[in-house]
């Protein structure tokens, strides 16, 4: 990846360069509540990007309250992917996966976690609108759709849409 970054800079050094980096596997003595990022690629980037799905892939949404972030450099940070799925019209309590309430709760907790990132300059939910994905086969929930959208495939806004909208308005 470092060689690719060097090649890109040799072609066009006027554009900002970013890449989604992974958190360290070893926490280097930090408590589990600290996510560390020390990838050598950071040195070659203008913007640090990360994909964070705590609460959806691993852990519960409330675990995000315990997390903080440390990067191997002081650079702008973008959360390039985050979120979780919900089936539009499926309502339950906030602990029921695939419900709009679960997705809504996950967004509230994730946004609070991201607000603790020094240098956070942007974020992009994964994804805006549900889309066809043949590998997504959970019956009566996915049925061939990726349901991580804030808007259903029919154009209907899910509860989490309004959480993110309010967050952006306050910024």
The structural domains of the chain, ordered by start, are: 2-170 (3.20.20.80)
Q: When comparing pLDDT for 28 and 65, which is higher?
A: 65
Please compute the mean of the pLDDT values over residues 111-115 and round it to a whole number: 96
pLDDT of residue 26: 54
* Residue 14, C-beta contacts closer than 8 angstroms, at least 6 positions apart: none
Q: What is the mean pLDDT of the chain?
A: 93
Long-range contacts formed by 84-92: CB under 8 A, 24+ apart: 84/53, 84/55, 84/56, 84/148, 85/56, 85/141, 85/142, 85/146, 85/147, 85/148, 86/147, 86/158, 86/159, 86/160, 87/141, 87/147, 88/130, 88/152, 88/154, 88/156, 88/158, 89/156, 90/141
Each residue's pLDDT tens digit, 55-89: 999 889 999 988 999 998 999 999 999 999 999 99
Does 28 have pLDDT greater than 60? no
At residue 115, the pLDDT reads 95
Res 58: pLDDT: 85
pLDDT tens for each residue of 120-148: 999 999 999 999 999 999 999 999 999 99
Cβ atoms of residues 69 and 104 within 8 Å: no
Percent of the chain at pLDDT > 70 equals 96
For the entire predicted model, the pTM comes to 0.91
């Amino acid at each position: 990846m470092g060689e690719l970054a060097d090649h890109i800079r040799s072609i066009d050094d006027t554009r900002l360069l970013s890449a989604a980096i992974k958190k360290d596997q070893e926490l280097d003595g930090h408590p589990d509540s600290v996510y560390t990022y020390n990838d050598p690629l950071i040195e070659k980037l203008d913007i640090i990007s990360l994909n964070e799905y705590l609460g959806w892939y691993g852990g519960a949404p409330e675990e995000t309250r315990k997390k903080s972030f440390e990067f191997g450099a002081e650079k702008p940070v973008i959360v390039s992917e985050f979120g979780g799925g919900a089936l539009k019209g499926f309502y339950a309590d906030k602990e029921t996966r695939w419900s709009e309430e679960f997705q809504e709760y996950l967004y509230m907790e994730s946004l609070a976690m991201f607000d603790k990132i020094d240098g956070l300059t942007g974020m992009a939910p994964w994804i805006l609108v549900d889309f066809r994905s043949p590998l997504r086969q959970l019956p009566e929930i996915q049925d061939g759709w990726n349901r991580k959208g804030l808007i259903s495939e029919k154009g209907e806004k899910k509860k989490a849409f309004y959480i993110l909208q309010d967050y952006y308005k306050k910024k």
